[in-house]
Amino acid sequence: MGETEYSEALKLGKKEYRARIAKGQFPYLPVLDEILSEADIQTEQNMGLVHVPLDFVVGTSTMGRTYSFAANFMPILDWETEFAVKWSNLSDAQMNEGIRDPIKAFEYMNRYYVLEGNKRVSVLKYFNAVSIPAIVTRKIPKLSDDYDVRLYYEYMKFNEITGLCSVEFTKLGNADKLLSLVGKEGRWDDETKEKFAKVMFDFSKVYNFRGGDRLDIKLGDAITVFMEVFGMDAMLEMSENDYNKNVINTWKEFAAEGEKHKINLVLDPKKVQTKKSLLNYLIPQTPKKLKVVFLYPREPKTSAWLYSHELGRMYLDETFSDKLETEYVAGVDENNVEQVLEDIIKSGADIVFCVGPQMMPNSLKVAVEHPEVYILNCSLNAPHPYIRTYYGRMYEAKFLAGMIAGAVTDNERVAYIADYPIYGMIANINAFALGVASVNPRAKVYLAWSKTKDYDRNKFLTENDLHYVSDQDIITPNDASRYFGLYKLQDGQALNLAMPIWNWGVFYEKLLQSVLAGSYKAEGQEQVKALNYWWGMSAGVIDLICSKHVPYGVKRLADHLKSDITKGEVVPFFGQIYDQKGELKNKGEHEMKPSDIMKMDWLVDNVVGSIPPMSEFVDNAKMVVELKGVEENKL
């Protein structure tokens, strides 16, 4: 009996051997001793008895037995050898009672190299066994900036908490995200392991059947994406039909996860062309009005930011009164956004603008389940194809405001008061600082954060002798003051100089024109990546207004530069740019990539201040920072 099995295994081995030779590849088992040296290793760790997935057993520890096997662990020595007889005896043992004795192996980067028991691995692989018991010694590589090494260190933490070695990831951060989604504090107990095993089995069965195993992501990435949409509890209750439907609906999310760059930044609106067919003239059509709903975290009159969007909503009502109707819902947060979305969709909503990044996570499930409704979120750097995001390139206006501040400062000091260190905000700060430096290279920009626990505006301005201040962009209706935009403190009062403008009405108008013309839908069908609209002065979404208090010559320069920025002839992030550590962040005569501008987590060299860690922010700001904060502050 064993001879027959060996003969079949030998065929598989020789087939693999020939295929590898034909491709110019090494035909034998990889050898760990030749892959790394002891100098590459930080330390070794005894892992004890581990049930190792056989798919992860890929080679041998030393050269001794490597030439007995093809690269797929099948034998390549002829029958008339002692090796073949021993292999056959193990085959008989597996069929009669099963192989129980553990092998000995080294684990390196979550792949296993056999020290003792190569033939046992070969036999079990031949019989398509899933795992094998092994006494494992882990070789831990030295921590470095290498992506795979960083990924492996995240895996080791995941493995220590869960005890799982078969769940792998290709994206940094996904291991921690999955732990958070499962929601178990500390090491997983048996109940948590059983629940996760159930959802992993049910999900992977459908996911792989639908072709998920052909995507450029690991199963760990895929289940993280799926669980982020639907949640662990819902997955435990899903039937196979539910999984089928939900995996299909979530496919764009899986595909986007496999993209190296998951986000496509749309920097300008596409030109909308509307054509009428002959049928339109012969049969006049009166389509139903689109219903557009805005979701706000609180009443817009209590927030300058929300009020600017509310002005945009009212502008839509006036501009498209015959084509759409709008309304808003206030008091929407991460806890009730899913139910609010379901309610407004039932009442006929066609387009929803979620004006708050905290709404993003729980909006995703609704967006996946209702692709007929367009759901957008006002934020940057969101990698979800089912929810498009939008924001303005405010850094263009901040660059101009910085240039004005640098020209008029009387002591080479300027204040910048920011709120959240989220995507886009750091670009605003740096652009302002570069604007200051462009006309006054000795001037410094002093940075404060209004959402930190110890923020004291008067103390900050007084102690640093700051007379010119860049503050919040617009007035809060319920708390009107003159402390907005760029102003000079004079006799305890604010003398307004310039005000950056968010023209949300223009943005919403152009976006809805694309919806009405059909180009919005077509744009989404062309893309696997998530679409992030990041429009600026060229689209009319961002502007800067100067008051009469800006000196004439400075205003002329600002107007000239604004015209050049609008035409794309001048960009704020161009040429040599150094950070606070003296590190070159952008080379001379080069324009910085938009994606690098968006993801900035560093400050330019003339900024005095830092990006605070999460712990320093007030509680009601932490949710926003956690979701959309730049990497530097997530400590």
Amino acid at 127: F
Same domain (yes/no): 491, 595: yes
Q: Are 352 and 463 in a shared domain?
A: no
Asked whether residue 17 is assigned to any structural domain, the reply reads yes
One domain, residues 453 and 316: no
Going by C-alpha positions, the residue among 167, 216, 211, 212 that lies closest to residue 188 is 167
* 389 bridge partner residues: 377, 532
Domain closes at, from 329, 347, 378? 378
In a domain, 581, yes or no: yes
The whole-number average pLDDT for the span 427-455 is 97
Beta strand extents in 54-130 (DSSP E only): 57-60, 103-108, 111-116
Question: Which residue from 430, 446, 449 is spatially nearest to 438, judged by alpha carbons?
Answer: 430
- SS3 call for 634: coil
Query: Do residues 25 and 125 share a domain?
Result: yes
Q: Is the pLDDT of residue 505 over 50?
A: yes
Amino acid at 170: T
Task: Clarify whether residues 371 and 355 are in a common domain.
Answer: yes
Give the number of residues written for the chain.
Answer: 635
Q: Which helix (H) or strand (E) holds 328?
A: strand 324-329
Exposure of 446 in the CB half-sphere (CA atoms within 13 A): 18
Beta-bridge partners for 416: 447, 470
Own/partner long-range contacts of 236-241 (Cβ < 8 Å, ≥24 apart): 236/195, 236/198, 236/199, 238/202, 240/202, 240/205, 240/206
Instruction: Note the pLDDT of residue 479.
Output: 63
**Interatomic CA distance for residues 380 and 595, integer angstroms:** 10
Do 233 and 329 have their domain in common?
Answer: no
For residue range 134-151, list pLDDT tens digits in order: 999 999 999 999 999 999
Provide the pLDDT for residue 304.
86
Write out pLDDT tens, residues 246-264: 999 999 999 989 887 668 8
CA 227 to CA 179: how far, in whole Å? Answer: 11
Nearest CA among 311, 303, 308, 312 for reference residue 331: 303
Angle between helices 395-408 and 425-439 (to 10 degrees): 30
Query: Strands of 530-535's sheet, edge to edge?
Result: 263-266, 530-535, 388-392, 374-378, 351-354, 290-295, 324-329
- Of the two residues 127 and 526, the one the predictor is more confident about is 127
State the Cα–Cα distance between residues 510 and 62, nearest whole angstrom: 65
Residue 284 lies in a domain: no
Is residue 464, in this structure, part of any structural domain at all? Answer: yes
CA-nearest of 139, 216, 137, 107 to 170 is 216
In a domain, 274, yes or no: no
Spatial distance between the Cα atoms of 586 and 595, rounded to a whole number of angstroms? 13
> Is 28 found in the same domain as 8?
yes
Report the alpha-carbon distance of residue 560 to residue 488 in Å, rounded.
23
Confidence of residue 630 (pLDDT cuts 50, 70, 90): confident
* Boundary-marking domain end, from 344, 378, 412: 378
Domain identity same for 37 and 168: no
The percent of residues above 70 in pLDDT, for the chain, comes to 94
Domain count within the chain:
4
| Beta pairing class for 486-490 and 468-470 | antiparallel
Together in a domain, 23 and 116:
yes
What pLDDT shows up at residue 526?
A: 61
Residues 344 and 425 in one domain: no
pLDDT(425) > 70? yes
Show the DSSP H helices in 464-608 as ranges.
504-517, 519-525, 552-566, 594-598
Backbone angles phi, psi at 234, to 5 degrees: -65, -35
Full domain range(s) for residue 6: 1-142
- Strands (DSSP E) along 142-275, which ranges? 263-266
Where residue 83 sits, what CATH number does that domain have?
3.90.1530.10
| Residue among 435, 414, 401, 412 nearest 573 (CA) | 435
Among 166, 143, 171, 86, CA closest to 120: 86
Q: Are residues 38 and 58 in the same domain?
A: yes
* Position with higher pLDDT, 591 vs 285: 591
Q: Are residues 160 and 135 in the same domain?
A: no
Residue-level pLDDT at 478: 65
End-to-end CA distance of the chain: 61
Q: Is residue 511 part of a domain?
A: no
- Average pLDDT of the segment spanning 342-358: 96
Nearest to 264 by CA among 528, 520, 596, 522: 528
Look at residue 281 in the predicted model and tell me its pLDDT.
42
Radius of gyration of the chain (CA): 30
Q: Which residues contact 41 (CB under 8 A, 6 or more apart)?
A: 139, 140, 141, 142
Asked if pLDDT for residue 520 goes beyond 50, the answer is yes
Which two structure tokens, joined as six digits, stand for 172? Answer: 């940094």
Banded model confidence at residue 65, pLDDT cuts 50, 70, 90: confident
pLDDT at 51: 95
Report how far residue 585's alpha carbon sits from residue 629's, in angstroms, rounded to the nearest whole number.
20
| Whole-angstrom distance, CA of residue 148 vs CA of residue 140 | 12
Average pLDDT, the chain: 92
CA 169/CA 82 separation, integer angstroms: 41
Last residue of a domain, one of 258, 278, 309: 258
Query: Region 410-435: what's the mean pLDDT?
Result: 95
Q: DSSP 3-state assignment of 231? A: coil
Strand order in the sheet with 444-449: 542-546, 493-502, 486-490, 468-470, 413-418, 444-449, 607-608
**Which one-letter DSSP state was computed for residue 86?**
H
The CATH number assigned to the domain holding 310 equals 3.40.50.2300
pLDDT tens for 569-594 read 999 999 999 999 999 999 988 999 99
Q: What is the pLDDT of residue 278?
A: 42
Nearest Cα to Cα of residue 16 among 87, 61, 82, 73:
73
Check residue 280 and give its pLDDT.
47
**Which has the minimum average pLDDT: 202-216, 218-232, 415-429, 476-490?**
476-490
Question: Residue 390 domain-assigned?
Answer: no
Mean local confidence (pLDDT), 29-38: 90
Q: Would you give the DSSP letter of residue 608? A: E
Q: Which of 244-258, 262-276, 321-335, 498-512 has the lowest mean pLDDT?
A: 262-276
- Residues 554-565 have pLDDT tens digits of 999 999 999 999
DSSP assignment letter at 487? E
Q: Which of 518, 419, 427, 424 lies closest to 473 in space, CA to CA? A: 419
More confident residue, 262 or 229: 229
Report yes or no on 54 lying in a domain.
yes
Q: Is 291 helix (H, G, I), strand (E, B) or coil?
A: strand
Q: What is the pLDDT of residues 157-166, one digit of tens each?
A: 999 999 999 9
Please give the pLDDT value at position 55: 95
